[in-house]
Amino acid sequence: MEPGASTGCSARTLAACVIRGIVLGASVIALHLVGPAAIPSLPPLDAVRRRLRRRRRRPVRVYMDGCFDMMHYGHCNALRQARALGDELIVGVISDDEIKANKGPPVTPLHERMIMVRAVKWVDDIIPDAPYAITEEFMNKLFTEYNIDYIIHGDDPCLLPDGTDAYALAKKAGRYKQIKRTEGVSTTDIVGRMLLCVRERSSSDAHNHSSLQRQFSSGHGQKVDDSGSGSGTRVSHFLPTSRRIVQFSNSRGPGPDSRIVYIDGAFDLFHAGHVEILRLARELGDFLLVGIHTDQTISSTRGRHRPIMNLHERSLSVLACRYVDEVIIGAPWDVSKDMITTFNISLVVHGTIAENMDFMEDDSNPYAVPIAMGIYRRLESPLDITTSTIIRRIVANHEAYQKRNEKKEASEKKYYESKSFVNGE
């Protein structure tokens, strides 16, 4: 060791201690004079750790399956709730054969149901031909291949033909979460609304399907079962709330330079044909505005039996579609100059496949104004499907659907008799 090294080292240590003391003293004085508000507070250590974990972790993936036959706003609301329980929603669409084996023939085939589910704005991906029962093999596939964290289902029971719970294995594995069933609608109910017409037939034409179709077309023989009993079909009643509409809305408007496309219609029994024409319409602009006609307007143009779904039910189904930005609930039949100006509409479109195309020949063409302005365009409809197409499917196979409904109605009646409040949205 060099002479004087120990003395030098001690001097440097002493100097460092003095400097640290001065800095600490100055900080204490500043805190006393200025107050604690001047010094930014640090978040708790646990909060910092949680943030870091959230940044590092992979997205939570949830799975929900279903038939999604004659898809309606109740299905959409279930998917919305499921999506809220994770970061990504994967939906299993059950195969036609599985539906037929467990419930009876589906009204809409798999490819149409896939179009419908894929169009729901809360769905991230789909698994076609999903099994009706969550077997151990399929559950392990969900966990390993699809990285599913939780399997979701509503609070209504889902039983297999042998009476066992279809989600028992997921519950046992601790990977099951439950959502609240949407009251007021079901596929059974919607089919039942159409089957009411079937029950009105006289025995003399019991096998005359063309007579059934005439009843739908003319509006004769339609009645409403308000009692929920006696006729065999429980006709539910949708109770619309402003909160539900807000939950389905995008909560955003068009930008100042957006090209706004407008399309209107009944959108009754919202189906794959509707979805595909909305997709094409959305591709023509930056913002798709959809006008939904009132129940009275539809009845006056298509008969007293229509619409099958009321205005608010139809509005929610359209709002759930990922191609739709905004809807006009109760849009006027005529597209006026004032309406075009009010909503800053750039283009008005209509599909080539619709139930009532006679208006194009009438003197009172509802699109006369946009045609005169040069902003009207007819779109080639990708699918030859209308609401009447769906009705004809029911009529053509009404006995099978009647049996399916009678079976389903028993379980729905039991659900409603024993149901209790479930927290959820």
- Per CATH, 56-179 and 249-385 having the same topology is answered yes
Residues 266, 345: Cα–Cα separation, whole Å: 20
Single-letter residue type at 244:
R
pLDDT bracket for residue 219 (50, 70, 90) = very low
**Can you list the alpha helix ranges (DSSP code H) found in 258-386?**
272-282, 295-302, 311-319, 337-342, 368-373
* Residue pair 404/104 in contact by the 8 Å Cβ criterion: yes
The single residue listed with the structure tokens 């009321």 is 310
Domain 249-385 has CATH 3.40.50.620: yes
Half-sphere exposure of 96 (CA within 13 A, CB side): 10
The single residue listed with the structure tokens 């037929």 is 100
Q: Give whichever of 7-11, 48-52, 100-104 has the largest mean pLDDT.
A: 100-104
* Residue pair 143/76 in contact by the 8 Å Cβ criterion: no
How crowded is residue 354: how many other Cβ atoms within 10 Å of its Cβ? Answer: 17
* pLDDT of 409 higher than 50: yes
pLDDT-wise least confident of 118-122, 166-170, 421-425:
421-425
pLDDT value at residue 355: 81
End-to-end CA separation in angstroms for the chain: 78
Residues 137, 147: Cα–Cα separation, whole Å: 14
Tokens of 312: 């608010």
Domain 56-179 has CATH 3.40.50.620: yes
* pLDDT of 23 higher than 80: no
Q: Which residues of 175-191 are buried (b: 16+ CB within 10 A; e: fewer)?
A: bbbbbbbbebbbbbbbb
pLDDT value at residue 419: 53
How crowded is residue 239: how many other Cβ atoms within 10 Å of its Cβ? Answer: 9
DSSP secondary structure letter of residue 44: P
Tokens of 148: 């599913």
pLDDT value at residue 31: 45
pLDDT value at residue 160: 74
pLDDT value at residue 321: 98
Residues 394, 199: Cα–Cα separation, whole Å: 13
pLDDT value at residue 228: 35
Residues 306-333, mean pLDDT to the nearest whole number: 95
* pLDDT of 95 higher than 60: yes
Average pLDDT, the chain: 79
- The residues near 421 (Cβ < 8 Å, ≥ 6 apart) are none
* pLDDT of 254 higher than 80: yes
- More confident position, 337 or 186: 337
* pLDDT of 306 higher than 60: yes
Distance set, CA 40 to CA 26, 31, 227, 293, 357 (Å) = 17, 12, 65, 56, 68
* Residue pair 236/226 in contact by the 8 Å Cβ criterion: no
* pLDDT of 146 higher than 90: yes
Angle, CA of 253, 258 and 261, to the nearest 5°: 85
Considering just the CA atoms, what is the radius of gyration of the chain in Å? 30
* pTM metric for this prediction: 0.75
What are the domain boundaries of the chain?
A: 9-38, 56-179, 187-237+388-418, 249-385
Measured over the CA atoms of residue 368, residue 374, residue 380 and residue 381, the dihedral's sign is negative
pLDDT bracket for residue 222 (50, 70, 90) = very low
The dihedral region occupied by 151, where left means phi > 0, alpha psi between -120 and 50, and beta the remainder, is: beta
pLDDT value at residue 303: 81
Q: For 155-183, write each residue's pLDDT tens digit.
A: 877 777 777 788 889 999 999 999 988 76
* pLDDT of 104 higher than 80: yes
